[in-house]
């Protein structure tokens, strides 16, 4: 609390010369300090601290037999190399003169634009995207709860017939392109994707494509 002390000053005689009154102030800072600590405590308790952003990447289990190739239904494989090169093929990989007698796999090239990678993922993942869109419409009409919408959306992404994406890169690819690709997978509601090693036959096709 602020206090003001007044000193009348001057002598006590009748004809004594009167002196000007002197005032001294004393400010008590205790309430202000208390208020500062209360505000500090309030902002600390109500603030939201930034959390580190992490991206989940799934790695498949290693096969018992190293010569065994992983077979995935409805799989789209992306292979990245230098100079922002992005190649892809759909289905299983078949090398030249394979025992199954299948036509050899050929790499197609695309880019990271909306008309490239984004459109490609939307086309291949169309059934899942449409199913999630219907669930979202139900959520916006308040027909299902938020937790139900998320659970059903994850279920749609994890179905056996849903698109699976395999991400591969050689030693010339950049981390930025890998992160950009995985980010695009999340945007296009791809629920099943994994970063896997490149087969020697795939690397040969990539090197041949880069040399063209």
**Residue 190 belongs to some domain of the structure:** yes
**Residue 145 belongs to some domain of the structure:** no
Total of domains in the chain: 1
Could you write out the three-class secondary structure of the chain?
Answer: CCEEEEECCCCCCCCCCCCCCEEEEECCCHHHHHHHHHHHHHHHHHCCCCCCCCCCCCCCCCCCCCCCCCCCCCEEEEEECCCCCEEEEECCCCCCCCCCCCCCCCCEEECCCHHHHHHHHHHHCHHHHHHHHHHHHHHHCCCCCHHHHHHHHHHHHCCCCCCEEEEEECCCCCHHHHHHHHHHHHHCCCCEEEECCCCHHHHHHHHHHHCC
**Residue 142 belongs to some domain of the structure:** no
More confident: 70 or 128: 128
More confident: 66 or 163: 163
Q: What is the pLDDT of residues 118-145, one digit of tens each?
A: 999 999 999 999 999 999 999 999 999 9
pLDDT of residue 61: 55
Residue-range definition of the domain harbouring residue 116: 75-125+163-210
Q: What is the mean pLDDT of residues 94-110?
A: 90
Q: What is the pTM of this model?
A: 0.67
CATH number at residue 91: 3.30.420
User: Worst-scoring range by mean pLDDT, 19-33, 58-72, 180-194?
Assistant: 58-72
């Amino acid at each position: 609390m602020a206090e003001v002390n007044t000193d009348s000053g001057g002598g006590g005689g009748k004809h004594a010369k009167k002196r000007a009154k002197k005032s001294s102030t004393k400010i008590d800072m205790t309430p202000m300090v208390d208020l500062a600590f209360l505000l500090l405590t309030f902002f600390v308790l109500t603030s939201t601290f930034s959390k580190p952003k992490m991206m989940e990447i799934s790695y498949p289990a290693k096969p018992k037999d190293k010569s065994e190739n992983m077979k995935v239904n409805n799989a789209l494989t992306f292979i990245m190399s230098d100079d922002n090169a992005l190649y892809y093929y759909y289905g299983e990989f078949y090398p030249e003169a394979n025992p199954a007698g299948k036509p050899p796999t050929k790499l197609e090239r695309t880019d990271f634009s909306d008309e490239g990678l984004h459109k490609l993922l939307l086309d291949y993942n169309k059934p899942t995207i449409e199913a999630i869109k219907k669930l979202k419409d139900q959520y916006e009409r308040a027909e299902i709860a938020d937790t139900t919408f998320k659970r059903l959306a994850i279920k749609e992404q994890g179905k056996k017939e849903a698109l699976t994406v395999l991400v591969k890169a050689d030693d010339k690819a950049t981390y930025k392109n890998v992160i950009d690709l995985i980010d695009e997978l999340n945007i296009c509601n791809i629920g099943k994707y994994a970063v896997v090693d490149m087969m020697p036959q795939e690397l040969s096709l990539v090197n041949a494509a880069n040399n063209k």
